[in-house]
Amino acid sequence: MSLSKKKLQKPEEKCTLQEILGVIGGKWSMSIIYALFTGKKRFSELERIIPNINTRMLVKELKNMEANGIVVREVFATVPPTVEYTLTTKGEKLEPIINELYKWGVEYVG
Amino acid sequence: MSLSKKKLQKPEEKCTLQEILGVIGGKWSMSIIYALFTGKKRFSELERIIPNINTRMLVKELKNMEANGIVVREVFATVPPTVEYTLTTKGEKLEPIINELYKWGVEYVG
């Protein structure tokens, strides 16, 4: 009885949903991930593609996403240096989910 | 040329992803939606089921979710009054998406 009640409540799943939001719930994270579905992008490209983001916020979100293993950052020794971001497998696996979420948004959020 | 470039950038889609996060990206929103997939819940039940949430935050998130058409709030004239929350169709449609996101989290977030 006590076990089935505990199972019903699934407290560990609630924790995980919050951990997940900690990884991809940043204001711009999904927009950045979405932009990277079509392939790696330079910092300057991301800045241009994502509307209304400023440089400081983009740096911050990308650092957070790199730390969480969603993107890989590569620096090339060009003059000036080129910085490119690519999705990891972990990030790529979000594609169908974010696409579905986007479809939901188009239908219900407007 | 100019049109295809605009299409590639899809600025309107980025905006929508941020609008979507405005609706379901609150720290507790997904946990509350997840709890309501199994059927309507009283306020006190939600408070008990969702770990680490406090009353003030639960009130705030539920108000936001009601304003966004994710949940419906019903008050019954019992003594003391009973308040129940149910997902709307808009909220229910998130079930497969949140389930997939949760699976992703189990595999990649831990």
Which residues from chain B sit within 8 angstroms of residue A38, using beta carbons? 8
CB B17 within 8 Å of CB A61: no
Cα B32 to chain centroid distance, Å, stands at: 6
Residue type, A21: L
- Chain A, nearest residue to B6 by Cα: A49
Choose the mutation target among A5, A97, A98, A99 for the interface with B, i.e. most B CBs under 10 Å: A97
Which residues from chain B sit within 8 angstroms of residue A19, using beta carbons? 105, 109-110
Average pLDDT over residues A65-93: 96
CA distance A110 to chain B (A): 8
CA distance B23 to chain A (A): 8
Instruction: Compute the distance between CA of residue A73 and CA of residue A67 in angstroms, rounded to an integer.
Output: 10
Rounded to the nearest integer, the mean pLDDT of chain A is 86
Which residues of chain A are at the B interface, by a Cβ-Cβ cutoff of 8 Å? 8-9, 11, 13-21, 23, 25, 27-28, 30-31, 34-35, 38, 48-52, 69, 90, 93-94, 96-98, 100-102, 104-110
CA distance B107 to chain A (A): 9
Instruction: Compute the distance between CA of residue B16 and CA of residue A109 in angstroms, rounded to an integer.
Output: 8
Which residues from chain A sit within 8 angstroms of residue B101, using beta carbons? 17, 20, 97
Residue B40 exposure: Cα atoms within 13 Å on the Cβ side: 13
Instruction: Compute the distance between CA of residue B26 and CA of residue B89 in angstroms, rounded to an integer.
Output: 19
Which pLDDT band holds residue B18 (cuts at 50, 70, 90)?
A: confident
> Residue A41: in which H helix or E strand, if any?
strand A41-42
Residue for token digits 């079930």? B95
For B50-98, write each residue's pLDDT tens digit: 878 999 999 999 999 999 999 999 999 999 999 999 999 999 999 999 9
For A10-24, write each residue's pLDDT tens digit: 445 445 788 888 888
Percentage of chain B lying above the pLDDT 70 cut: 86
Residue A40 exposure: Cα atoms within 13 Å on the Cβ side: 13
> Residue A98: in which H helix or E strand, if any?
helix A95-104
Q: Which of A56, A62, A59 lies closest to A88, judged by CA?
A: A62
Reported ipTM:
0.81
pLDDT at residue B6 in the model:
42
CA distance A44 to chain B (A): 13
pLDDT at residue A6 in the model:
42
Domains of chain A, earliest start first:
26-109 (1.10.10.10)
Residue A85 exposure: Cα atoms within 13 Å on the Cβ side: 29
Question: Strand order in B41-42's β-sheet?
Answer: B41-42, B82-87, B71-76
Q: Are A97 and B104 in contact (CB < 8 Å)?
A: yes
